[in-house]
Amino acid sequence: MAAPITRQVSGCAATPAPAGSECGQPLADAVAALPVLDAAGKPVPFGALFRERRAVVVFVRHFLCYICKEYVEDLAKIPRSFLQEANVTLIVIGQASYHHIEPFCKLTGYSHEIYVDPEREIYKRLGMKRGEEIASSGQSPHIKSNLLWGSLRSLWRAVNSPLFDFQGDPTQQGGTLILGPGNNIHFIHRDKNRLDHKPINSVLQLVGVQQVNFTSRPSVINV
């Protein structure tokens, strides 16, 4: 088998990936045809999610990961009107059973599109990493919990879940893509480790969506 080709394209990390999954090339038809599941367990072709317009597609690790939870909580803060003005769809894809979608949305307040790839077939075909690569990812503006408390909360959620599982493979990393319309790939970032997700505003800027102030807090009114 030939070694995967490494390319350097503007906006893309130069990392190995299967043919047809780098920006500057169309997404392979075989990958676009792979199914994701919605909250009811209904299969939808991956390519159908961005056939008509551009989409920011965020692949997360597993639904019990506190880092994923806090990142998606910030994705939930993006006003729908901001996305509509730019004609952009926001999509989260996890790798748990579809039964976990609704509880995860309630937990995070996320109301945009969300699906799962429980067999991780799309993760694999897009070259998403497994395992932790040691790399400096800087301070994320989206993570509020430290490692100890975040991990303890994740464990508590697992223990209290009706289905005791990690809601996905804990060694699987995620990534962010900008896709569409059609099978066009405009941007791809594969997370090297759990902290290596792209800052949300940097992705929004690439698709012409207004920036969001994720550090804002409700005003305190003294009476």
The pLDDT tens digits of the residues spanning 17-70 come to 443 345 567 999 999 999 999 999 999 999 999 999 999 999 998 888 888 899
- Summarised one tens digit per residue, pLDDT across range 182-199 is 999 999 999 998 788 899
Residue 184 contacts residue 26 (beta carbons within 8 Å): yes
- The H or E element spanning position 40 is none
Task: Summarize pLDDT for 30-45 with one digit per residue, the tens.
Answer: 999 999 999 999 999 9
Please check whether residue 8 lies inside any domain of the structure. no
Do the domain assignments include residue 80?
yes
pLDDT band at 165 (very low <50, low <70, confident <90, very high): low
What are the tens digits of pLDDT across the range 119-151? 999 999 999 998 776 655 556 776 775 454 444
Residue 84's CATH number: 3.40.30.10
Res 78: pLDDT: 97
How many domains does the chain fold into? 1
Q: Which domain holds residue 156?
A: 37-92+105-131+140-188+199-207
Q: Does residue 31 form part of some domain?
A: no
Judge whether 16 lies within some domain: no
